[in-house]
C-alpha cells in the first residue's frame, strides 16, 4: 500500500448517506467511515441509491492509488435521475430549495480474481458547492499531472481474428471506457491481412498519437510491431535488413485488446485475456518493455518475433491449422492432436550464443512479474554493453558459439513465457519479458509416450525440462540449419560420423508405414509461417513498450478484502 504523503484535501463527505472522512494526496484517495456520525446531517436526502453496490459496508478504510483513478464524473443536477448500465435508476440527491451540483463520482480500477481489473465507482456527496468544486478540480489536476497516460490512440481492429468478435468487443467493452477516461481514438477496421502493418509503415500520422491499440490476436499484434518497428528504423535511417544492426526503439506504446485465438502476448503481459482489463491498463498508461527477436535468412530480414519461434511440432501444428481457420481457436487443438500422432522429427544443426553475465536461468523457480528486477538488471547491463559496443560482442569471433546437431521433434525459442489459457505457465515458465534473451528449448527425438509426458507437463506443476530428451539454454542469438541445407563440408562430416552413404534413404527409414516423412518442417513465428527454414535469430532487448505492467503478484490484503475476488 502506498503511503499517502502530504494531504491536498481532507473533508467529511457522504457515501450512500453515511459520513466518511475523505482525503486526497498526490498518490492516494482514501475514504474512511466515521465511527459514529448521527449528528452530521447538513441535509437529509429523501432517497439516495448507492452507486457502489458491489462492496459491502465493511466500515473500514478504502484507498485507491491516484494512478489508478480513471476519471471523475460530475453528477447531474437537482432531482434528476439517471439510468445505470444495469438498467436500474439512481437518484443522486433531492433537496428542496437548492439548485446546485454537489455529488461527484470517482471511477477507479478494482482488482478481481485472476488478474482481472474492473472499473468500480464511488459517489461522494458534499455539503456545499464550493467544497464540491474543490474536490472535482483537485482530483482532475492530479490526473492531468500523470504524463504517461495516453490522450490520443490509433486503434486497429481485426474483424476476423479469433471468434470474429473484435469489432463487437471494442464497441461494447472498450470504447465506452476510453470515452469515460477522455481518451480520443482514431479507429481503423482492417480490410485485409497486413492492412495495419502497411498503414503503419507508410501512411499513419504517428506524431498525432501517444500509442497504438491492436484489437485481435497474436497475429494482429505481430502486424502492428512489424509496421511500427520498420517505420521507426526507416525514419531513423537504420537498415532493418542487417542482422548486426542495433535497432531503434519506437516511442509509441502498444496496447492489446485480446480478440484472437491464443492471445499469449496479452496473457503473459497482463495475466489474463480480458478486454476490460487491457483497456484499463491502457487508460492508466502502464508501461512494460519487451524483447523482440529479429529473424534473418542469408542477411535478409524475414520477420520479428516476441513470443514463440517454433520448428517441428509447433511449426507443423500451425501449418496444418491454417487450413482449418474456419474452425476458430479449436483448430489448434485438432491440429495439435494430429501432429502429435504424426510424430515427425527433423534433423538439423542449432548453434547458439549463450547469454553471459546476465541474471537468471530457464530453470529458475522465480517468474517474471510486474517490476521484474531481472529484466531491470539485464536491461541496464545490455544497454551499457551496447554503448561500449565492439564488433566481437555478438560476433562469431568470440568463439563462444556452441553447436548441437541432432534429430528434433521440436526446436522452440520462447522470448517470454508464452503463457496462455492452454498452458498457464507457458512454454518456458521462467522466461523474461524484457531481459534481452530467449529460451532455446530442444526436444530430441523420443517416443510418443515421452513426448506426451513432456506436453502434459505444460499443464501441470511438473517441470517440462526435467526429461532426458529435453534441453534448454538461455541465449542472445541462435541459428538453425536443416540437415539438407548444410554446407558440403558439414555433410561430409555427417557422412563420416554416421557412415551413411545414401542421405535420402534415411528420410523414410524411421517411418516404414507412410514411407514419406518430410525432411523439413516450417518455423512458426508468433503464429505466422516463415518462408525459410535456415534462420539467424537475434534478441533486441526491450525494443518495444506495451501498455501493460507484467503479471502482478496478488497481495494477501487484496484477496481478503476485495469482495469481487471471492
Ligand atoms: C495433452 C495436452 C497437452 C497440452 C499441451 C499444451 C501446450 C500448449 C503450449 C502453447 C504454447 C503457445 C505458444 C504461443 C504461440 C503463439 O505465438 C501462436 C500465435 O498465437 N500460437 C500458436 O502457434 C498456437 C499453438 C497452439 C499449440 C496447441 C498445441 C496443442 C497440443 C495438443 C497435443 C495433444 C496430444 C493429445 C494426445 C492424445
Ligand atoms: N481484415 C482482415 N482480413 C483477413 N485477415 C486479416 C484482416 N486483418 C488482419 N488479418 C490477419 O488475420 C490473422 C489472424 O489474426 P489474429 O491474430 O487477430 O487472430 P488469430 O490468429 O485468431 O489469433 P492468435 O494469433 O492469437 O492465434 C493475422 O495474421 C492478420 O494478419
Ligand atoms: Ca526475454
Residue 533 CA to residue 191 CA, distance in Å, equals 30
Q: Is 218 a catalytic residue?
A: yes
Residue 286 CA to residue 291 CA, distance in Å, equals 17
Rounded to the nearest angstrom, the distance between the alpha carbon of 5 and the centre of ligand 3 is: 36
CB neighbourhood size of 513 (10 A): 7
Grid coordinates standing for 124? 461522494
The confidence score (pLDDT) of residue 161 equals 85
- Partnered with residue 544 across adjacent β-strands are 290
- What residue ranges in 385-483 does DSSP mark as E strands? 402-414, 438-444, 470-482
Which ligand 2 atom is at minimum distance from the Cα of 191? 1
The confidence score (pLDDT) of residue 487 equals 55
Q: Where are the domains of the chain?
A: 7-146, 148-287+547-566, 290-542
Rounded to the nearest angstrom, the distance between the alpha carbon of 474 and the centre of ligand 3 is: 9
Give whole-number Cα distances, 218 to 37, 223, 308, 485, 564, in Å: 54, 9, 10, 30, 29
Phi-psi region of 263 (alpha: psi -120 to 50; beta: other; left: phi over 0): left
Closest-CA residue, ligand 1 atom 36, reads 337
Q: Is the ipTM of this complex over 0.90?
A: yes
To test the pocket of ligand 1, the residue of 219, 221, 327, 336 to mutate (highest count of ligand atoms within 8 Å of its CB) is: 336
Please say whether the beta carbons of 95 and 41 come within 8 A. Answer: no
Grid coordinates standing for 560? 481478503
Q: What is the mean pLDDT of the chain?
A: 86
Write the pLDDT tens digit of every residue in 397-439. 455 899 999 999 999 999 999 999 999 999 999 999 999 999 9
Q: Give ligand 1 pocket residues (Cβ under 6 A).
A: 217-218, 262, 264, 307-308, 314, 317-318, 332-333, 336-337, 340, 418, 420, 422-423, 427, 452, 455-456, 458-459, 524, 526-527
Q: Of the CATH numbers 2.60.200.40, 3.40.50.800, 3.50.50.60, 3.40.50.300, which one belongs to the domain with range 290-542?
A: 2.60.200.40
Which ligand 1 atom is at minimum distance from the Cα of 526? 17
Backbone angles phi, psi at 399, to 5 degrees: 70, 10
- HEC profile of 343-387: CCCEEEEEEEEECCCCCCCCCCCCCCCCCCHHHHHHHHHHHHHHH
Q: Which ligand is nearest to the CA of 457?
A: 1
Any idea which fold 7-146 has? PH-domain like (2.30.29)
Closest-CA residue, ligand 2 atom 6, reads 193
Which ligand 2 atom is at minimum distance from the Cα of 218? 25
Backbone angles phi, psi at 210, to 5 degrees: -100, -10
Residue pointed to by grid coordinates 548441437: 404
Which ligand 1 atom is at minimum distance from the Cα of 341? 37
Please say whether the beta carbons of 519 and 484 come within 8 A. Answer: yes
- Considering 218, 316, 435, 526, which one is annotated as catalytic? 218
Please say whether the beta carbons of 523 and 535 come within 8 A. Answer: yes
Closest-CA residue, ligand 1 atom 34, reads 337
Spell out, as residue ranges, where the chain has pLDDT lower than 70.
1-5, 36-59, 77-101, 388-399, 485-517, 555-566
Torsion angle, CA of 240/428/224/305, rounded to 10 degrees? Answer: 20
Closest-CA residue, ligand 1 atom 12, reads 418
The confidence score (pLDDT) of residue 519 equals 86
Backbone angles phi, psi at 527, to 5 degrees: 95, 0
Instruction: Specify the pairing of strand 523-525 against strand 528-529.
Output: antiparallel
Rounded to the nearest angstrom, the distance between the alpha carbon of 336 and the centre of ligand 1 is: 6
Please say whether the beta carbons of 503 and 491 come within 8 A. Answer: yes
Rounded to the nearest angstrom, the distance between the alpha carbon of 164 and the centre of ligand 2 is: 9
Phi-psi region of 178 (alpha: psi -120 to 50; beta: other; left: phi over 0): alpha
Closest-CA residue, ligand 1 atom 30, reads 336
- Partnered with residue 144 across adjacent β-strands are none
CATH of domain 148-287+547-566: 3.40.50.10330
Grid coordinates standing for 156? 486497429
Q: With 0-12 CB in 10 A as exposed, 13-18 as middle and 19+ as buried, what is 5? A: exposed
Q: Which of 555, 546, 564 is nearest to 2 (CA)?
A: 555
Q: Which of 428, 468, 420 is nearest to 447 (CA)?
A: 468
Residue pointed to by grid coordinates 520477420: 303
Residue pointed to by grid coordinates 481489473: 117
Please say whether the beta carbons of 318 and 307 come within 8 A. Answer: no
Q: Give ligand 2 pocket residues (Cβ under 6 A).
A: 158-162, 190-195, 216-220, 223, 260-263, 527
* Alpha-carbon radius of gyration of the chain: 28
The DSSP letter of residue 458 is: G
Which ligand 1 atom is at minimum distance from the Cα of 414? 13
The confidence score (pLDDT) of residue 34 equals 85
Residue pointed to by grid coordinates 541432432: 406
Amino acid at each position: 500500500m502506498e503511503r499517502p504523503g502530504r494531504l491536498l484535501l481532507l473533508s467529511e463527505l457522504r457515501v450512500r448517506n453515511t459520513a466518511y472522512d475523505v482525503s486526497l494526496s498526490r498518490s492516494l484517495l482514501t475514504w474512511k467511515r466515521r465511527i459514529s456520525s448521527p449528528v452530521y446531517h447538513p441535509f437529509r436526502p429523501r432517497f439516495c441509491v448507492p452507486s457502489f453496490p458491489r462492496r459491502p459496508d465493511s466500515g473500514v478504510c478504502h484507498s485507491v492509488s491516484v494512478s489508478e483513478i480513471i476519471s471523475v464524473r460530475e453528477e447531474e443536477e437537482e432531482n434528476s435521475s439517471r439510468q445505470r448500465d444495469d438498467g436500474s435508476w439512481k437518484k443522486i440527491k433531492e433537496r428542496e430549495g437548492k439548485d446546485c451540483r454537489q455529488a461527484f463520482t470517482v471511477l477507479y480500477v478494482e482488482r478481481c480474481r485472476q488478474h482481472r481489473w474492473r472499473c468500480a465507482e464511488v459517489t461522494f456527496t458534499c455539503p456545499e458547492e464550493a467544497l464540491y468544486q474543490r474536490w472535482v478540480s483537485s482530483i482532475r489536476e492530479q490526473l492531468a499531472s500523470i504524463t504517461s497516460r495516453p490522450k490520443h490512440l490509433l486503434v486497429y481492429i481485426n474483424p476476423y481474428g479469433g471468434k470474429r468478435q473484435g469489432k463487437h468487443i471494442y464497441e461494447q467493452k472498450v470504447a465506452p471506457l476510453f470515452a469515460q477516461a477522455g481518451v480520443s481514438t482514431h479507429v481503423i477496421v482492417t480490410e485485409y491481412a497486413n492492412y495495419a502493418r502497411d498503414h503503419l509503415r507508410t501512411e499513419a500520422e504517428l506524431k498525432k498519437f501517444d500509442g497504438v491499440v491492436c484489437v485481435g490476436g497474436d497475429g494482429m499484434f505481430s502486424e502492428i510491431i512489424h509496421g511500427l518497428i520498420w517505420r521507426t528504423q526507416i525514419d531513423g535511417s537504420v537498415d532493418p535488413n542487417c542482422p548486426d544492426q542495433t535497432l531503434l526503439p519506437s516511442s509509441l506504446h502498444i496496447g492489446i485488446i485480446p480478440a484472437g485465438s491464443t492471445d499469449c502476448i496479452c496473457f503473459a503481459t497482463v495475466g489474463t485475456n480480458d478486454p476490460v482489463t487491457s483497456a484499463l491498463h491502457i487508460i492508466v498508461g502502464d508501461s512494460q518493455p519487451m524483447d523482440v527477436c529479429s529473424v534473418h535468412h542469408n542477411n535478409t530480414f524475414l520477420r520479428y518475433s516476441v513470443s514463440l519461434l517454433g520448428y517441428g511440432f509447433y511449426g507443423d501444428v500451425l501449418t496444418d491449422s491454417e487450413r482449418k481457420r474456419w474452425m476458430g481457436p479449436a483448430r489448434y487443438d485438432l491440429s495439435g492432436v494430429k501432429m502429435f500422432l504424426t510424430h515427425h522429427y527433423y534433423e538439423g544443426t542449432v548453434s547458439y550464443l549463450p547469454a553471459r553475465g546476465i541474471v537468471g536461468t530457464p530453470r529458475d523457480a522465480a517468474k517474471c512479474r510486474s517490476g521484474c528486477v531481472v529484466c531491470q538488471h539485464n536491461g541496464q547491463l545490455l544497454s551499457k554493453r551496447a554503448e561500449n559496443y565492439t564488433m566481437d560482442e555478438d560476433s562469431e569471433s568470440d568463439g563462444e558459439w556452441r553447436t548441437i546437431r541432432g534429430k528434433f521433434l521440436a526446436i522452440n525459442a520462447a522470448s517470454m513465457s508464452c503463457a496462455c489459457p492452454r498452458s498457464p505457465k507457458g512454454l518456458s515458465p521462467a522466461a523474461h519479458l524484457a531481459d534481452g534473451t530467449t529460451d532455446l528449448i530442444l526436444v530430441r527425438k523420443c517416443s510418443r509416450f515421452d513426448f506426451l509426458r513432456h506436453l502434459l507437463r505444460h499443464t501441470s506443476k511438473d517441470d517440462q525440462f526435467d526429461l532426458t530428451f529435453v534441453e534448454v539454454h538461455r541465449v542472445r542469438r541462435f541459428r538453425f540449419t536443416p540437415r539438407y541445407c548444410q554446407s558440403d563440408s558439414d555433410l561430409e562430416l555427417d557422412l563420416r560420423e554416421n557412415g551413411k552413404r545414401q542421405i535420402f534413404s534415411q528420410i523414410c527409414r524411421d517411418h516404414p508405414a507412410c514411407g514419406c516423412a518430410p525432411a523439413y518442417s516450417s518455423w512458426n513465428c508468433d503464429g505466422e509461417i516463415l518462408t525459410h527454414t535456415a534462420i539467424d535469430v537475434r534478441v533486441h532487448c526491450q525494443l518495444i513498450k506495451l501498455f501493460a505492467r507484467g503479471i502482478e503478484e496478488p497481495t494477501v490484503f487484496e484477496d481478503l478484502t476485495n469482495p469481487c475476488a471471492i
